[in-house]
Amino acid sequence: MSSIPRIVKESFTRIEPVADQATAYFYGRLFAEHPRLRALFPPAMDAHRERMFQALARIVWSLDAPGQMTDYLERLGRDHRKYGVLPEHYRAMGGALVATLRAFSGGHWTPEVEAAWASAYRSAADIMIAAAERDAAAAPPWWVAEVVDHQRRAPDLAVLTLRPDRRLKFTAGQYVQVQTARWPRVWRRYSIANAPRPDGTLSLHVRAVPGGWVSGALVRHTRVGDTLLLGPAQGTLTLDPDCDRDLLLVAGGTGLAPLKSLAEQEIAWARGRRVHLVVGARGPLDLYDLPDLRRLESGYPGLRVVPVPADAPPCDGPRGPVSAALERLRDRWDDHEVYVAGPPGMIRATVDAAQRLGVPLDRIHHDLLEAEQDAGGRARRASDRSA
């Protein structure tokens, strides 16, 4: 068995405690040696540096699981197309990465460690480049989408309907990256709030968050007729078409978007499964989509929409009202597939509640990692704005 995973992991543990300094050094080195590459990146690099290190960590700790790592690298390779990344850019980034690791490893950096990192990086880059080339034969790097409807459902929340210039293939429950003309090269992730439609349009639920450049632009400064750029659909919070268990969908805030799309998909399949959609809310404005949910409910006997009372305690507490609602409904949740989306605290509380109610962990699906990354990015940007 190759010693490369062991060597790389041992070396990486010495870099993790100084991640912020190391990523700042990496990009400084990259842009100093290849100044033209700076144009590929957003003006503010804090969020991008954090995501880069998270991706590197995920790759490093997946070296012993090649199938899982390959899937992730292929997704990265396809996604990097929207930034304009070319094969030669991977070579430049590999050189900056090795230089960074050497600078921060001190006396622990040896020729053997350098050879292991160089080999691991070449393998990873080859996978990403090959995936990007295959994807380029079938899809554009991004889609230009016209805003055909913009509904302000609350002072800080809007529902946008977009029409891409060509069909954007996606599966219910997935998300797209969005860029506005107001903030070039700044991409943010938003879940698609509908199952695929015959006309190819898609809807997004967007809440303007403090310090949110893209979210604020989408809610407050976007109008019908404007255009946005969309990246390819991604995400694994999707239904298994071969599963026949009933569904429990638990949403908090704009986490409703992907779960509404799952409900629409199940209605379109018309397989007769029961669907419980529990919608947590901090206040009445969080039930911004209730009229449309009631319309769905009236057209599909198997769907039951359960709003959590608006005057309940915050929905992301350790034993908040969403968890209490599941217990009050008193259904056989252990026979269900459970999908959860919303704030990180609500996701964790709901997963705990579902397990207490007998649902096996492998039947509970959520996007906690993405939710935590988004929440961390929002908190950091808000702090930066305050400073």
Q: What is the pLDDT of residues 330-340, one digit of tens each?
A: 667 888 999 99
Helices (H), 61-86: 66-79
Strand ranges, E, within 245-323: 246-252, 275-280, 303-307
Instruction: Tell me the pLDDT tens digit for each residue of 54-75.
Output: 999 999 999 988 888 999 999 9
Q: What are residue 105's phi and psi, to 5 degrees?
A: -95, -10
Instruction: Give the Cα separation of 269 and 240 in Å (integer).
Output: 12
Mean pLDDT value of segment 209-230: 95
Provide the CB-side half-sphere exposure for 27 (13 A, CA).
Answer: 21
Mean pLDDT value of segment 153-180: 96
pTM comes to 0.85
List of residues 6+ apart from 177 with CB closer than 8 A: 79, 82, 187, 188, 189, 190, 230, 231, 234
Instruction: Tell me the pLDDT tens digit for each residue of 4-49.
Output: 999 999 999 999 999 999 999 999 999 999 999 999 888 878 888 8
pLDDT at 136: 94
Residue 387 predicted with pLDDT over 50: no
Confidence of residue 327 (pLDDT cuts 50, 70, 90): confident
pLDDT at 211: 85
pLDDT at 368: 80
pLDDT at 386: 41
Instruction: Tell me the pLDDT tens digit for each residue of 291-313.
Output: 999 999 999 999 999 998 655 54
Residue 247 predicted with pLDDT over 90: yes
Q: Which pair of tokens denotes residue 192?
A: 């698609």
pLDDT at 330: 63
